[in-house]
Structure 1
Amino acid sequence: MSLEPWAAFVAASAILLVIPGPTILTVISYSISHGRRANVPLVAAVALGDSTALLLSLLGLGALLAASAFWFSVIKYAGGLYLLYLGVKLLRAGVAPAEVAAAPNMDTRWRLFFNTYLVTALNPKGIVFFVAFLPQFVAPHANVTQQLWVLGATFVVMAVLNATLYAVFADSARRLLATRRAQRGFHLTGGVLLSTAGIWALLAKKPV
């Protein structure tokens, strides 16, 4: 795929990844409660979990989009509506943000890994999000399947780096991330960004 849409995808992904979701909140909680010893299993769980979610979301999707411009448009519009839905939910959550949940008492690295993997891989919203987000940066006249895998692999690498940075600095940023004001800011910012992305997708031209 060309550099311009890939760079746009990297920029959009970086903005979205900075906003803590269920996976990152799990990483933060476990890093705070278990210290640096939890970093390796947590990051490994995010890597494997995101890869699993990506695989589940892309199975059959590339062939479908490549074969039919109609279904490409259907998925694109469905993705836009889903992104708008997520944005509205985050905006509503920003009015009454939840506290960062305290992590359960996990003693072994394997348990930390397994629990974080489940949160990441088996979150249906995460799987659908891949389907909604990736096609927004795909050119239908090129090899769609190849583009989807390139974008997906890029997102997984960025997600792993993001989780690593959050895990490393979670302890020092503990007080900031645990405040209600910070959580409200995260939710409101994420709501605006996702809502904007959803509107942009809905107004985009149909592929030729």
Structure 2
Amino acid sequence: MIDWLIFIPACLALNLAFGPNNLLSMTHGAKSGIVFAQKAAFGRLFVFVPMIAISALGLGVILTTSAVVFNVVKVIGAIYLIWLGISLWRSSNKVDAAGLSATEISLKEAFKTEGLVASSNPKAILIFAAFFPQFVSMDAYWLSYLMLGGAFIMLEAVAIFTYAALGRFAASFAQNKLPSFQRVSGGTMCVFGLLLLVSPQPTRG
């Protein structure tokens, strides 16, 4: 039986942790609104679903046992985050006082970026591979994994709304500061990339 009283707050804490995808939701919320950010974030949710399935099949162990595979995924993910951060920084001078830019990102592009950021971080699947098994009922393995995955996706939606609303709230009170916000977002994304680059290979507890 799943211990929901422990799983839900622990999982929500993971969902709300400040990271690249939540930073994107905040940035999209600030520039294009909460609804836009929520639609774009479906890109990450569509990536998380197969990740949960892969971890249920036990393939997540590959990332913790193979240093080569983990490091390849890690380097690719770090390079992408740094490139994205630089792009956000460089586009900050195109953001006007109304929060729009001459080259405003389309929903399709934002959706793709969310998905790429989610899939380029090897630690995402490790959350499912190391965290979920602690709550899985072996008497109903697949059903419990399905229930845990569904709960994770719903809590992730809560995190998406929270960060999008924070971004929009901040922008509504400081629209003239959006270029600075964009530069901070870009710089923070680069920091995430560097931290990922130097992070050690996790192990399953």
Given the two structures, how large is their TM-score scaled by the length of structure 2? 0.60
How has the CA–CA distance of structure 1 residues 48 and 69 changed in structure 2, closer, same or farther, with 3 Å as cutoff? closer
Q: Which runs of 5+ in 2 are unaligned?
A: none
- 1:30-69 equivalent positions in 2, closer than 5 A: 30-31=32-33, 39=34, 41-42=35-36, 44-46=38-40, 48-55=42-49, 57-58=50-51, 60-64=53-57, 66=58, 69=61
Identify the residue that residue 29 of structure 2 maps to in structure 1: 27
For the residues of structure 2 that align with 1:98 and 1:158, how far apart are their CA atoms? 26
Q: Percent of pairs identical after alignment?
A: 10
For the residues of structure 2 that align with 1:73 and 1:153, how far apart are their CA atoms? 30
Q: Which runs of 5+ in 1 are unaligned?
A: 32-38, 105-114
For the residues of structure 2 that align with 1:95 and 1:166, how far apart are their CA atoms? 15
Q: Does 1:70 align with 2:62?
A: yes
Identify the residue that residue 188 of structure 2 maps to in structure 1: 189
Question: Contact 1:88–1:195 (CA<8 Å) still a contact in 2?
Answer: yes
Given the two structures, how large is their TM-score scaled by the length of structure 1? 0.59
State the SS of the aligned residue for 2:91.
coil
Count of aligned residue pairs for this structure pair? 181
Kindly provide the CA deviation profile for residues 46-88 of structure 1, in whole angstroms up to 9, marking residues without a partner as x. Answer: 4645433433x43742344x15733654564444223322343
Q: Alignment partner for residue 80 of structure 1, among 48, 61, 74?
A: 74
The RMSD of aligned alpha carbons is: 4.3
- 1:1-208 equivalent positions in 2, closer than 5 A: 6=11, 9-10=14-15, 13-16=17-20, 19=23, 21=24, 24-31=26-33, 39=34, 41-42=35-36, 44-46=38-40, 48-55=42-49, 57-58=50-51, 60-64=53-57, 66=58, 69-70=61-62, 73-74=65-66, 76-89=70-83, 93=86, 97-99=90-92, 101=95, 102=100, 116=107, 118-123=108-113, 124-129=115-120, 132-137=122-127, 138-139=129-130, 142=133, 143=136, 146=145, 150-179=151-180, 182-200=181-199, 202-205=200-203, 207=204
